[in-house]
């Protein structure tokens, strides 16, 4: 059980091993989008498209911010084609 909790907590850690609020917001928004799509598909309740596209925008921004953490600490390479 401890291994499962540690594995799940790994989704919210950044490169340094600390909690990442960007990832928490990203997963929260992805969960809401999933809930809205499933609820819309299984019931007759119409989805509010302004909220849906706002959450999609939040997911896209969250993906960009979370992904940039991985590339921030890469060593720079020198371009050999430039004089």
Burial readout 70-79 (b: 16 or more C-beta within 10 A, e: otherwise):
eeeeeeeeee
Contact between 66 and 23 (Cβ < 8 Å): yes
Length of the chain: 83
| Residue 25 CB burial class (10 angstroms; 0-12, 13-18, ≥19) | middle
In the chain, where the domains are located: 2-72
Query: What confidence tens digit (pLDDT) does each residue in 23-43 have?
Result: 778 888 888 899 988 888 899
pLDDT at residue 15 in the model: 61
Query: What confidence tens digit (pLDDT) does each residue in 7-17 have?
Result: 656 666 666 66
pLDDT band at 50 (very low <50, low <70, confident <90, very high): very high
Q: What angle do CA 35, 38, 44 make, to 5 degrees?
A: 115
DSSP 3: H
66-78 mean pLDDT:
70
């Amino acid at each position: 059980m401890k291994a499962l909790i540690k594995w799940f907590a790994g989704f919210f850690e950044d490169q340094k091993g600390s909690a990442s609020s960007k990832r928490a917001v990203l997963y929260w928004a992805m969960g809401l989008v999933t809930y809205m799509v499933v609820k819309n598909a299984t019931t007759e309740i119409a989805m509010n498209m302004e909220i849906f596209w706002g959450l999609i925008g939040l997911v896209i921004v969250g993906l960009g911010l979370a992904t940039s953490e991985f590339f921030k600490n890469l060593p720079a390479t020198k371009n050999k084609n430039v004089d």
